[in-house]
Amino acid sequence: MDRAQARERVRDPLIRGALMVRAGQVQGSVAGAVNSTADVLRAALWCVGPDDGIKIVSSAFYMVVESFRDRGAEVLTFTDAAVVPDPDASQLAQIAAAASRARRQVVGDSPTVAFLSYSTKGSGAGPSVEKVQRALELFRDMEPGVPADGELQADTALVESVARRKAPHSAVGGEANILVFPDLNSGNIAYKLVQRLARAEAIGPVIQGLRHPCNDLSRGASPEDIVNVACITSLSAR
């Protein structure tokens, strides 16, 4: 764009805010109550860009669920449930890597990653299963220190007794706290089902994979939603 176009663009609060993040004047931004997700993401990609080693920007929901593993309430990361419709194996691995980095910052615990499928360790077959298997290989190269396994069905990823039967040698062993969905359909459906049927609190979508945090809100965001996302943005800042 030429200078005149640039001067006009910078009048847009989304662009101006993202440029402030890029310049280090602020450490993160929250937008979207009066803008579409596409516009918020476009400003962030133009002005801030992806983190090192990440070529795709994605999202995560932090699902606060009641006790189901006899350890009290937990936070599970569901990714991606809002941005990337049909990621390939490389994109899926990058989504998982971004979710792992974000979880350390936001939740403060160690990530354990399950790549989900309708199959567990070869019990089913098909292109989707092969994609998940390849994504796991790529993720292990990217994040060798993070326990991860796939392809796993959801019960194998989350329940130790099921994991002992279906995947006894799994590095996850029913202890997953990051669930990587094979596509946007499954991720979005899953988070809404858990939110409504299990009455879980769904915080997000939180944008992940950017060099610095620029987070999005629903245009129907409540004050509580804005506070939650602002707090996550603060935790993600560096």
Please, what are the domains in the chain? 1-49+210-238 (3.40.50.10950), 53-208 (3.40.50.10750)
Q: Using alpha carbons only, how large is the chain's radius of gyration in Å?
A: 18
Which residues are registered as beta bridge partners of 201?
A: 64
Give me 218's structure tokens. Answer: 């629903």
- CA dist., res. 85 & res. 182, Å (int): 9
Distance CA 85, CA 93 (A): 15
Contacts of 41 (CB under 8 A, 6+ apart): 57, 83, 207, 216
Residue 79: which of 162, 214, 226, 202 has the closest Cα? 202
pLDDT of residue 225: 86
Q: Given this model, what pLDDT does residue 221 score? A: 82
pTM of the complete model = 0.88
Paired tokens of 66 = 């009641």
What is the pLDDT at residue 141?
95
Task: List all residues 6 or more positions away from 10 whose beta carbon is below 8 Å from its beta carbon.
Answer: 16, 19
In tens digits, the chain (238 residues) has pLDDT values of 899 998 998 999 999 999 999 999 999 999 988 888 889 999 999 999 998 888 889 999 999 999 999 999 999 999 999 889 999 999 999 999 999 999 998 999 999 999 999 999 989 999 999 999 999 999 999 999 999 999 999 999 999 999 999 999 999 999 999 999 999 999 999 999 999 999 999 888 889 989 999 999 888 788 988 998 999 999 888 7
SS3 state of residue 144: coil
